[in-house]
Amino acid sequence: MTKKRMWALVATLAVTLAFPAAGVSKAHGGTLNLIAWEGYTYKQWVNPFEKQSGCTVHSKFAGSSDEMVTLMRSGGGSQYDMVSASGDASLRLIYGHDVQAVDPSKIPDFKNFGKAFQSPPNNTVDGKHYGISLQWGPNTLLYNTKVVKPAPTSWSAIYSPKYKGKVTVPDNPIQIADAALYLMKHSPSLKITDPYELNSTQFKAATDLLRKQKPLIKKYWALASDEIDLFKNGDAVIGASWPYQTNTLKADKAPVKDIVPSEGATGWLDTWMVSAHTKNLDCAYKWLAYISTPKVQAEQAIYFGETPVNSKACPIMDKLSKGSCAQYHANAPLEYFKQIHFWKTPIADCGNGKKNCMDYTKWQQAWTQLKG
């Protein structure tokens, strides 16, 4: 083709590309800009929602609750409409006035939520609901059944030099709480009552424990796939994990098993929260209602290896994957939850009248210095 025609073609191409086809709304409803954990808003769940609600969904995926807080606050809080934060960050959003109170009566499935998840302390303050619980999971002890013998029953397995160089724990400041939980049971003289409320002595003990642990660690896993690769390729044999990694490894016939050790475990609970500055409240409520329905709850639970808060999701889960309801403790009795210490943002207020607890900034600083 002649040079002239070629340039004409290039020019037309450039002009057509300037109209972002991806952003053209196919519906007359509003647009929701969501901040979510990777994969929470994949097309398999977003497409049916867009069809039935008329709202359009755009997603920004983040790798940690802290990132979600930063994103929510950027631009004066007007950039994103909703966020699926975990308990370690939800209080920061609530106290920072970044999210608004929601009315659970507008969510039809709310009454089907397990009692523990309707008003948990990490999204309900003074009786006001600042979000709708979504899914939860424990931070389990994962180990390679072929190498780790006898089977461990306590978190001490990841603090002992027996598996030096083959241990892995999450790369997250909230991991300090796991150390505090261990000390809660094994060093009662420290008088730790809540792994997230630590005064300076207790905090130092926890970080010292982590420093002692560092030479045992192969890698602090930041991504779920880090841990999956570590276990699959022989670089780690024991570590702290989420059920997601366990399921993925098991599906690939890796010889692994996870337990909640005798000391109990920390856990996370995800909540969908609505921005205080959103202009699409209508669509936001539609999304909250949709994501709480049993079918979607069950599908997300199976996909991500987490536990739904909607008790009606159980039968659907068992249909998708036999025995998954019990495997994920979806309808577990209250005793099970007593041993899970759900994430919550560490603040200076110790909750017992004292206000000398370490706040989250100190946790973050200590973590950066630990990693060095």
Q: Using CB under 8 A, count the residues that bind other proteins.
A: 67
Given the rule CB under 8 A, which of 52-60, 154-162, 187-195, 317-325 is the region that contacts other proteins? Answer: 52-60
Residue among 110 and 166 whose Cβ is closer to other proteins: 166
Query: What are the CA-CA distances from residue 102 to residues 97, 108, 119, 132, 134 (Å)?
Result: 13, 13, 12, 8, 14
- Does residue number 188 form part of the binding site for other proteins (CB under 8 A)? no
Given the rule CB under 8 A, which of 14-22, 119-127, 133-141, 279-287 is the region that contacts other proteins? Answer: 14-22
Smallest gap from Cβ 200 to other proteins, in A, equals: 16
- Does residue number 306 form part of the binding site for other proteins (CB under 8 A)? no
Other CB atoms within 10 A of residue 91 CB = 22
- Does residue number 12 form part of the binding site for other proteins (CB under 8 A)? no
Given the rule CB under 8 A, which of 40-48, 105-113, 152-160, 274-282 is the region that contacts other proteins? Answer: 40-48
Distance of CA 309 to the CA centre of its chain: 14
Q: If 0-12 CB within 10 Å is exposed, 13-18 middle and 19+ buried, where does residue 160 land?
A: middle
* x/- map, 211-240, other proteins, by CB under 8 A: ---x--xxxx-xxxxx-xx--xxxx-----
- Does residue number 4 form part of the binding site for other proteins (CB under 8 A)? no
- Does residue number 53 form part of the binding site for other proteins (CB under 8 A)? no
- Does residue number 369 form part of the binding site for other proteins (CB under 8 A)? yes
Applying CB under 8 A, which of residues 127, 150, 333, 372 lies at the interface with other proteins? 372
Residue among 272 and 337 whose Cβ is closer to other proteins: 272
Residue among 225 and 356 whose Cβ is closer to other proteins: 225
CA–CA gap between residue 62 and residue 84 (Å, rounded): 10
- Does residue number 73 form part of the binding site for other proteins (CB under 8 A)? yes
Given the rule CB under 8 A, which of 67-75, 148-156, 181-189, 308-316 is the region that contacts other proteins? Answer: 67-75
Given the rule CB under 8 A, which of 36-44, 99-107, 332-340, 350-358 is the region that contacts other proteins? Answer: 36-44
Smallest gap from Cβ 352 to other proteins, in A, equals: 20
Q: Could you say which residues in the range 119-178 bind other proteins, by CB under 8 A?
A: 173
- Does residue number 34 form part of the binding site for other proteins (CB under 8 A)? yes
- Does residue number 8 form part of the binding site for other proteins (CB under 8 A)? no
Residue among 38 and 208 whose Cβ is closer to other proteins: 38
* x/- map, 332-351, other proteins, by CB under 8 A: ---------------x----
CA–CA gap between residue 94 and residue 115 (Å, rounded): 22
Residues that bind other proteins (CB under 8 A): 13-14, 17-18, 20-23, 33-35, 38-39, 42-43, 47, 58-61, 63-64, 66-67, 69-70, 73-76, 79-80, 92, 95-97, 173, 214, 217-220, 222-226, 228-229, 232-235, 248-249, 251-252, 254, 347, 359-361, 364, 368-369, 371-372
